[in-house]
Amino acid sequence: MLESDHEVLDDPKAYRDVWNRKPVLREIYADIYRHILEATVDGPILEIGGGSGNFKAFAPRTVSSDIILAPWLDLVCDAQRLPFADGSFSNIVMVDVVHHIEHPIRLFREAQRVLQAGGRMVLCEPAITPLSGLFYRLFHREPVDMSANPLMQGTISHDKDPYDSNQAIPTLLVGKYRHELTRRVPELALERVAWFSFVAYPLSGGFQPWSALPLVAARPLLRAEWHLRRLIGRMAAFRLLAVYQRKS
């Protein structure tokens, strides 16, 4: 989301309406969903933070959940207290969710419990790099606090705004706190991280009604950005794709 997205969009239906009106936005997220699905293993998928309900169209075997009620979701639940038996899913997927979670360590422990042996959790989140960090701090409404400890565990708040966030959390989890997270959640190993997404999403306007990116240019630009990830990702990426695997 860009700076004023949250001010305009305060419920999943608003996001869904923008999604339906913006083909360039759908193209950008279709690219993200393809990369996520390539990282999954065979078997059922749990989507956390399903929001406007778009991922399930790409993966019909998905159980789509969110903490906010919407008619196209399969259930409402808190990612920190998943209502599933141990080993229920082969995959857990999330897009722009972890940086909104109050206590991410609870989410990771629940993922460790709910995933089958060899299952995967695939996350697509904001990435804080020298370029993106400057952009997010200047033009994005959501805060970036690199001094935060994402492994702090406290009482779950019942009145927390689900849109509260810290965009630094995912970068901290795969960077500074990577080894500490492994120590606390030993059965869930970080397999790989891809640092990608440079200009296409900002040019698209995100969930705003405007776009400076022509639809015809979106797919080749996204393809070029993915190929450039190893060269400039750690300096300029706006997103990261993290793949965690449940040990066998």
Is the pLDDT reported for residue 222 higher than 80? Answer: yes
Structural domain harbouring 220:
5-246
Task: Give the least confident one: 69-73, 142-146, 218-222.
Answer: 69-73
Tell me the average pLDDT across 24-36: 97
Tell me the average pLDDT across 31-45: 98
Is the pLDDT reported for residue 2 higher than 80? Answer: no
How far is residue 195's CA from residue 236's CA, in Å, rounded to a whole number?
8
Task: Give the pLDDT band of residue 116 (cuts 50, 70, 90).
Answer: very high
Q: What pTM does this model have?
A: 0.93
Segment of 12-16, 149-153, 191-195, 208-212 carrying the highest mean pLDDT: 191-195
Find the CATH number of the domain harbouring 160: 3.40.50.150
Looking at residue 10, what is its pLDDT? 58
Strand arrangement, sheet containing 75-76: 75-76, 62-66, 45-48, 89-95, 115-126, 239-246, 188-196
The DSSP line for the chain is --TTHHHH--SHHHHHHHHHH-HHHHHHHHHHHHHHHHH--SS-EEEES-TTT-GGGT-TTEEEEESS--TTSSEE-BTTB--S-TT-EEEEEEES-GGG-S-HHHHHHHHHHHEEEEEEEEEEEE---HHHHHHHHHH-SS---TT--TT---PPPSS--TT---TTHHHHHHTTTHHHHHHHSTTEEEEEEEEE--SHHHHHTTTSS--SS-HHHHHHHHHHHHHTHHHHHHHH-SEEEEEEEE--
pLDDT tens for each residue of 79-112: 999 999 999 999 999 999 999 999 999 999 999 9
| Of 32, 41, 97, nearest in space to 64 by CA | 97
Looking at residue 52, what is its pLDDT? 85
Is the pLDDT reported for residue 6 higher than 50? Answer: no
| Degrees to nearest 5, angle at CA 64 with 41 and 78 | 105
If one compares 208 and 168, the residue with the highest pLDDT of the two is 168
Is the pLDDT reported for residue 4 higher than 60? Answer: no
Tally of domains in the chain:
1
